[in-house]
Each structure stands twice: as structure tokens, then as C-alpha cells.
Amino acid sequence: MCTFPPSNIKNLVLGIQFCSENFSGLATQEGSNKSLRSLPYVVRSKRSFIINIICRSLAGSRKGSLDAKTVERHERSHLAQSRCRVAALALGTYGAHGFRPQNPSYKEVWQTASLYHLVHTAALVTAPFTKHPHLFGGLLTSGILLFSGSCYTAALYEDRKYSMLAPVGGFAFIAAWASLLF
């Protein structure tokens, strides 16, 4: 069982080394009847190994404590970010290789949506390190859905009326980046 609470980068590296050395003992704990979800600072599965280390390092530098509910919330956030990255790459690839609109100007709309989607998805990775992570992450996600989503839809259907929400998404992007100033 990995039970150290890191509070800085040096401890994070030491914690990763410690947990990787003791990772083989976790297989027996995962199959036991004991509920590992209720224990703080425990790596419960191979899937959450890295997420748990990162979350504990953040908690050590901010609050000094991290419960199982917080770790689970970070895991869900990581899963949502991963899905957004996969969608950005898939839609960008489709736009570059498979999207053939009748009007070539819609290809540029698709490329713009793909670029903003990919860049702001990459920025979502930094959300936990900001002063207001929920505000920054929420505004970026809203911007991606409203701006990129409406541009994708307008390009796909080749109709500008579907891009009416793009300015709202653009303002969400601006607000997200402005939230870093406060």
C-alpha cells in the first residue's frame, strides 16, 4: 500500500519511485474484501496509479489532505479530458482526410474548429493547477462545446445558421483565459 503524502516536486518524484517499487504488492490488495476506496492515499488500481500520485502531490501542496471522493473526482475529470482529446484528434483527422464539403470555405471552418478544439483541450490539462480550476475548466469546456461544436455543425451541414453559438463560445474562451488574471 502506497501511503505517503507528497507536498512538493521532490516528494512527488520520490513518491513515484516508492510506489513503482511497491506496485507488485497492490495486486493482492485489489482482490481482497477490504474496501480500498474508503482509504485515503491508496493506489486502488493500475488505472488510477498516476492520477492518484498527481492528486496527492496537489493536495499536499494545497490542503495537506486528500480523501477518496476527491481522488474519484480527479479520475472522472481525467477521463473527460481524455475523451475530449480523442474527439479533437478524431475530428481533426476526419477534417483533414475525409471531410469533402461542396463549398470549400467550409473546410476552413472545420479546420478552425479543430484547431481551437485541440488547443483548448490541451489547456484543460492545466486546469487543476490554476487558482480557480472549476471556473477555468468549465469555461474552456463550454467554449469547446459552443464554439467548436457549432463550427463543426455548420461545416458539416454547410449552413451558417448553425454557427450562431460560436461567438458565445468565443467569449467563454476569452473569459477562461481572463480568469487566470484573478
137-154 core/surface letters (b: 16 or more CB in 10 A; e: else): bbbbbbbbebbbbbbbbb
Check pLDDT > 60 for residue 116: yes
The whole model's pTM is what? 0.64
In a shared domain, residues 118 and 50:
no
The residue type at 75? E
Domain identity same for 100 and 22? no
- 138-160 tens-digit pLDDT: 999 999 999 999 999 999 999 99
pLDDT in the model for residue 127: 87
The span from the CA of 163 to the CA of 116, in Å, is: 15
Same domain, 86 and 176: yes
Instruction: Name the residue with higher pLDDT: 130 or 5.
Output: 130
pLDDT tens-place string over residues 54-87: 555 555 444 445 567 777 777 778 888 889 999 9
Residue 32 pLDDT: 43
| Co-location of 25 and 82 in the same domain | no
Indicate the number of domains in the chain: 2
Contact 2, 49 (CB under 8 A): no
Distance, in Å, from the CA atom of 66 to the CA atom of 56, rounded to the nearest integer, reads 7
The reported pLDDT for the residue numbered 76 is 79
What tens digit of pLDDT does each residue of 18-51 get?
Answer: 444 444 444 344 444 444 444 344 444 544 555 5
Same domain flag for 82 and 144: yes
Over residues 103-128, mean pLDDT: 94
Predicted local confidence at residue 43, as pLDDT: 41
Examine residue 2 and state whether it is found in any structural domain, yes or no: no
pLDDT above 60 for 164: yes
Task: Note whether 58 and 82 are same-domain residues.
Answer: no
C-alpha to C-alpha distances, 70 to 49, 65, 122, nearest whole angstrom: 14, 10, 22
Residue 46: give the domain boundaries.
9-62
53 or 109, higher pLDDT = 109
Cβ 89 vs Cβ 115: under 8 Å: no
